[in-house]
């Protein structure tokens, strides 16, 4: 039993150690090591690298075993070594692919390595972005939940005021139910936020592998430098992938052109005959004859060249799309930042002042409870809205940084 208990504790220890809240950087580090998408792309790079080793190698030699000129009719039909024609032959042949074709194959396979590496970098970028967004969403959902808890505490104070006024006869009995009605509405919102927190935590768990994924209180600074991002767009994994595909298309074009140069095969054979006759040796060369290039090789070259042109145009279109998307995202980020500043400097302070004045008026008997509660709810909504705007600004920054600023492989 002791051994079983110790084994169970040791098995649970890693998850217990991971149960501590993680920072954004820690979540990203875990995602880079735990996400299966990245391990899958890494296997793709390994496969492309292995395939490139044999790209420019000659084909394997071929062994030729044969019985030649065996009689099937006449007086010697079905008999070995009764005439001077039947031979037992053993031979070997080696195909020599022209050097231009071998170089083109090597270039194509190395371009495929670049494509695989770019796909790995894009997958890493996607995982980091999704992990960061899940962290941000979980972080601010928890903060919004705390705001609702604070509103609950304020309702307790308001309930005490209502009870005192009821005791003095300054309030109607029905007014005692109004704080409870508001508390019921808050409970509905709390249920929604609790579900969102569970969803965001599940998303964070998906990438980090931590079943108890949680966030720390502090959010690291997220500075967005539009000029620096524009200057580094060419190094984005997405565009590097298009560059690699363009190189692969050029290599395919070179391979098609190399088909106009002949390959040749060298072969040698030894033929054993009836002992009364001498053995024979055969040596020869077989050469491809690309004599009809206009109908065979040239159309393939034109097709591959068109594919290469399409790859370059796709790359140009992708670059323009990225530039336009960055400009649009920066504009949205500026708008959300201005809206957040407006909420912090004007909307929330005004709502807080109004709620304070209305509560004072209610305490003095100059305002009905419904209006005071509405002001309190308006303040809570303003604070929650400010948090939502802050979360949107953080999401914008994360999306911009991890979409346009992640250039590492």
pLDDT tens digits for range 339-350: 999 999 999 899
The DSSP call for residue 55 is T
- The residue written with tokens 């998906």 in the block is 206
Distance (Å, whole) CA 158 – CA 179: 7
Distance (Å, whole) CA 26 – CA 146: 24
Residue 398: both structure tokens together: 């994360």
Give me the mean pLDDT over the 59-76 stretch.
84
Give residue 352's pLDDT band: very low, low, confident or very high (50, 70, 90): confident
Distance (Å, whole) CA 100 – CA 261: 8
**165 alpha carbon, distance to own chain's centre:** 60
Would you say 270 and 100 are in contact if contact means Cβ atoms under 8 Å apart?
no
Of 13-22, 104-113, 217-226, give the lowest mean pLDDT range: 13-22
What SS3 state is found at 406?
Answer: coil
Residue 297 burial by CB count (10 A; 0-12/13-18/19+): exposed, middle or buried? Answer: middle
Strand partners, 284: 267
Would you say residue 144 has pLDDT above 90? no
pLDDT tens-place string over residues 302-326 = 999 999 999 999 999 999 999 999 9
144: number of Cβ within 10 Å: 20
Predicted pLDDT at 4: 42
45: number of Cβ within 10 Å: 20
Would you say 87 and 38 are in contact if contact means Cβ atoms under 8 Å apart?
no
Phi, psi of 95 (to 5 degrees): -85, 135
Whether this model's pTM surpasses 0.85 = no
CA separation (Å) from 141 to 133, 198, 208, 382, 391?
Answer: 12, 10, 19, 15, 9
Predicted pLDDT at 136: 92
**β-strand 264-272 against 62-68: which pairing, if any?**
unpaired
- The residue written with tokens 């393939």 in the block is 300
Cα dihedral: 259, 261, 263, 264 (round 10): 160
**Farthest-apart Cα atoms in the chain, separation:** 138
pLDDT tens-place string over residues 277-308 = 788 899 999 998 888 888 888 999 999 999 99
Contacts of 108 (CB under 8 A, 6+ apart): 55, 248, 251, 252, 255
Predicted pLDDT at 13: 41
Would you say residue 94 has pLDDT above 70? yes
Show the domains of the chain with their CATH numbers: 22-404 (1.20.1600.10)
pLDDT tens-place string over residues 8-22 = 444 444 444 445 788
Predicted pLDDT at 18: 46
């Amino acid at each position: 039993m002791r051994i079983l208990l110790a084994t169970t504790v040791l098995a649970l220890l890693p998850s217990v150690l991971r149960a501590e809240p993680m920072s954004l950087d820690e979540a990203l580090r875990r995602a880079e090591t735990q996400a299966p998408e990245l391990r899958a792309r890494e296997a793709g790079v390994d496969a492309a690298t292995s395939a490139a080793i044999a790209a420019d190698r000659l084909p394997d030699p071929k062994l030729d075993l044969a019985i030649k000129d065996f009689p099937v009719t006449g007086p010697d039909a079905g008999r070995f070594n009764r005439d001077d024609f039947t031979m037992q032959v053993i031979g070997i042949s080696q195909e020599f692919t022209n050097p231009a074709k071998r170089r083109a194959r090597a270039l194509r396979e190395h371009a495929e390595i670049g494509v695989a590496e770019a796909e790995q970098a894009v997958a890493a970028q996607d995982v980091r972005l999704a992990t960061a967004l899940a962290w941000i969403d979980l972080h601010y959902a928890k903060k919004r939940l705390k705001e609702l808890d604070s509103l609950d505490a304020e309702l307790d104070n308001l309930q005490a005021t209502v009870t005192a006024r009821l005791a003095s006869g300054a309030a109607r009995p029905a007014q005692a139910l109004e704080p409870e009605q508001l508390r019921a509405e808050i409970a509905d919102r709390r249920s929604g936020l609790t579900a969102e927190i569970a969803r965001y935590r599940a998303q964070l768990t998906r990438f980090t592998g931590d079943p108890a994924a949680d966030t720390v209180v502090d959010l690291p600074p997220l500075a967005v430098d539009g000029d620096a991002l524009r200057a580094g767009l060419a190094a984005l994994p997405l565009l590097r992938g298009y560059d690699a595909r363009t190189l692969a298309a050029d290599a395919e074009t070179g391979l098609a052109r190399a088909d106009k140069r002949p390959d040749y095969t060298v072969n040698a054979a030894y033929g054993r005959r009836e002992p009364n006759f001498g053995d024979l040796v055969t040596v020869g060369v077989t050469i491809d004859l690309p004599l009809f290039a206009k109908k065979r090789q040239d159309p393939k070259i034109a097709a591959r060249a068109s594919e290469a042109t399409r790859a370059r145009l796709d790359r140009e279109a992708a670059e323009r799309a990225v530039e336009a998307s960055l400009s649009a995202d920066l504009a949205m980020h500026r708008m959300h930042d201005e809206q957040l500043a407006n909420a912090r400097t004007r909307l929330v302070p005004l709502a807080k002042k109004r709620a304070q004045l209305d509560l004072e008026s209610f305490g003095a008997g100059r305002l009905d409870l419904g209006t005071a509660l509405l002001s309190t709810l308006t303040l809570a909504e303003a604070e929650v809205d400010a948090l939502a705007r802050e979360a949107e600004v953080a999401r914008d920054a994360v999306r911009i940084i991890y979409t346009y600023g992640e250039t590492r492989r």
